[in-house]
Amino acid sequence: MTHERVLIVEDELTQITLLEGVIARAGFTVEKAMSGAEAVKRLLDRTLPKIDVVLLDLVMPGMDGIEVLEAIRPKHPDLPVVMLTAHSSINTVVDAMRAGANDFIVKPASAERIRTAIEASLKTSSFVGEIAPVSGQMTGKMQGHGFESLVGTSPGMQRSVTLAKKAASANIPVLIEGESGVGKEVFARAIHSASDRRSTPFVAVNCGAIPENLVESILFGHEKGAFTGATERRVGKFQEANGGTLFLDEVGELPLDVQVKLLRAIQEKEIDPVGGKQSIRVDIRIISATNRNLSDRVAEGAFREDLYYRLNVFPVLLPPLRDRRSDIPALTEHFLAQISEMEGVSRRRISADVLQLLSSYDWPGNIRQLQNALFRAVILSEGEVLTQGDFPHLLGQPLPMPAQALEARPNHGGANVEIMPQGGAILVLHGSDGHVRSLSELEAEIIRLTLLKYDGRMAEVARRLGIGRSTLYRKVAEYGLDQPS
């Protein structure tokens, strides 16, 4: 049992029992409160042991989660609070973030998601929102140790490391380019750890995971009363990173009005909090990352040309995993060791045919997908040696489908079209009556499958579907895809 103490605030006995089991098994001390009023009383009592993280249900009779946050924030401005909600609509996220939540979890959540949220909250008060189930926890052990922690000796990897080492020695903006999942944040942390700012804060912000109307507040902070729900002053990420490094992931997703303020912050080395009357001086080193071609975004008018040149002073391109296949064996052993330690299971070995399978697969999700594939295989495997049968999704075999979906696949003489994207999910064109399903049904199914493929990362899903994030949030709510399935 660790010294960190987690308070669960939940009015449903079944939920509180499940959460208690997950959190206790993760090694934390657990306290419970079955109402908002009870939680406020506990948190404001300074004679009792300090609470390190709060898991707070949004909807409760009497005092709800928002009211609890408003009551405790004046006395506990830095206490990490993870909001529990059954609805992941944009309004829910905005309300929770404005009230001072650090993260939110959609119920029911996996044990891994809960553990990751708590551990991330203990390390930082940054907004998490969408977080890959596995990569956050495992890559965390690779961070903060400089370039020696990076795995891989392929020519492409070595070229990137050589460039990044040169970037570390100079205090200039760095733009890390590469596909999703190639490890851009790991590289950014390595640059920071090898620089003369290594003992200062490293603050990471996923610009694509923040609701558009909160980006400015989260980056630059806001004053009390700056907008509806701003019940207290909030320090932005620029101030958190003062003296250190600010990592802007998915920087290409920033709205144009925020890009203007970011450009000023870089040029003038000062920021203007929302609702503030005075500018604040900051000393930070900017490292940004993108999985999109920013020059194309400039040509489209979606990204400011002057900001692009400010950020792209020292570009570093990370190769996709398919272009560094010789690193896959070393990465596989590295992650198997981490999974063993993280989950407390015996170290798994892989057979020669599995290594061949992993090395020949194209890995469209790159290192993050390899991590997740190994994690899934280890957890579901029954033996000490992983076989090809533990990786059905890499062999092109469909994953188990709900019974109702299987029943909706009869062949009535027509072309019963099935589309199988990478990963095994199936889109069925015909319904149970043998006729083509409606466009709205197919659209809902396409969005659902895309959410599964990209681990619920809304910015990535919107990009892949070619629609705006606000449109995606609206359609997710319209089709009920934010409800537990």
User: What is the predicted pLDDT for the residue at 421?
Assistant: 40
Same domain, 16 and 113: yes
pLDDT higher than threshold 80 for residue 262: yes
Tell me what the mean pLDDT of segment 469-476 comes to: 77
Same domain, 153 and 242: yes
Return the axis-axis angle of helices 155-168 and 184-193, rounded to nearest 10°: 40
Question: Would residue 272 count as lying in a domain?
Answer: yes
Question: Would residue 306 count as lying in a domain?
Answer: yes
Q: Tell me the CA end-to-end span of the chain in Å, nearest whole number.
A: 33
Q: What percent of the chain has pLDDT over 70?
A: 79
- If you write DSSP's letter for every residue of 174-202 in order, what string do you get? EEEE--TTS-HHHHHHHHHHTSTTTTS-E
Question: Would residue 225 count as lying in a domain?
Answer: yes
- Helix (H) or strand (E) run with residue 419 in it: strand 418-419
Number of Cβ within a 10 Å radius of residue 192? 26
Q: What percent of the chain has pLDDT over 90?
A: 13
pLDDT higher than threshold 70 for residue 208: yes
More confident residue, 452 or 100: 452
Q: What is the CATH number of the domain that holds 274?
A: 3.40.50.300
389 Cβ partners below 8 Å, 6+ apart? none
User: What is the predicted pLDDT for the residue at 110?
Assistant: 73
Question: Would residue 10 count as lying in a domain?
Answer: yes
Put simply, whether the predicted model's pTM sits higher than 0.85 gets the answer: no
Q: How confident is the model at residue 40 (pLDDT cuts 50, 70, 90)?
A: very high
Q: Encode pLDDT of 376-426 as tens digits.
A: 788 777 788 888 888 876 765 433 333 333 333 444 333 334 444 444 445
Question: Would residue 438 count as lying in a domain?
Answer: yes
More confident residue, 228 or 447: 447
Give the number of domains in the chain.
Answer: 4
Q: How confident is the model at residue 63 (pLDDT cuts 50, 70, 90)?
A: confident
User: What is the predicted pLDDT for the residue at 452?
Assistant: 78
User: What is the predicted pLDDT for the residue at 326?
Assistant: 92
User: What is the predicted pLDDT for the residue at 38?
Assistant: 93
Which of the listed residues 256, 284, 319 is the one where a domain comes to its end?
319
Same domain, 292 and 428: no
More confident residue, 117 or 65: 65
Tell me what the mean pLDDT of segment 12-25 comes to: 84
Same domain, 411 and 468: yes
Q: How confident is the model at residue 289 (pLDDT cuts 50, 70, 90)?
A: very high
Q: What is the CATH number of the domain that holds 64?
A: 3.40.50.2300
Amino acid letter, 457: R
Q: Encode pLDDT of 352-365 as tens digits.
A: 889 989 998 888 88
Q: What is the CATH number of the domain that holds 363?
A: 1.10.8.60
User: What is the predicted pLDDT for the residue at 6?
Assistant: 93
Same domain, 338 and 313: no
Q: Which residues pair with 245 in a beta bridge?
A: 202, 285
pLDDT higher than threshold 90 for residue 107: no
Question: Would residue 86 count as lying in a domain?
Answer: yes
Tell me what the mean pLDDT of segment 10-27 comes to: 85
Same domain, 252 and 340: no
* Average pLDDT, rounded, for the chain: 78
Same domain, 239 and 328: no
> Residue 96's domain spans which residues?
5-123
User: What is the predicted pLDDT for the residue at 91?
Assistant: 55
Q: How confident is the model at residue 228 (pLDDT cuts 50, 70, 90)?
A: low
Residues 368 and 212: their CA atoms lie apart, in Å, by 26
Extract the tokens encoding 408.
Answer: 């909706």
User: What is the predicted pLDDT for the residue at 131?
Assistant: 28
Contact (Cβ atoms closer than 8 angstroms) between residue 339 and residue 374? yes
- Which of 68-77, 95-104, 255-264, 341-350 is the least confident region? 95-104
Q: What is the CATH number of the domain that holds 429?
A: 1.10.10.60
Same domain, 14 and 72: yes
Q: How confident is the model at residue 330 (pLDDT cuts 50, 70, 90)?
A: very high
Q: How confident is the model at residue 97 (pLDDT cuts 50, 70, 90)?
A: low
Tell me what the mean pLDDT of segment 150-157 comes to: 87
Contact (Cβ atoms closer than 8 angstroms) between residue 8 and residue 16? yes
Same domain, 156 and 304: yes
Same domain, 145 and 290: yes
Q: How confident is the model at residue 329 (pLDDT cuts 50, 70, 90)?
A: very high
Which of the listed residues 97, 123, 149 is the one where a domain comes to its end?
123
Which of the listed residues 319, 340, 360 is the one where a domain comes to its end?
319
Same domain, 19 and 85: yes
Tell me what the mean pLDDT of segment 450-467 comes to: 80
Tell me what the mean pLDDT of segment 70-89 comes to: 77
Residues 327 and 347: their CA atoms lie apart, in Å, by 20
User: What is the predicted pLDDT for the residue at 164?
Assistant: 87
Output phi, psi for 5, to 5 deg.
-115, 125
User: What is the predicted pLDDT for the residue at 176?
Assistant: 92
Same domain, 452 and 466: yes
More confident residue, 249 or 399: 249
Pairing between strand 418-419 and 314-317?
A: unpaired
More confident residue, 15 or 222: 15
pLDDT higher than threshold 80 for residue 434: no
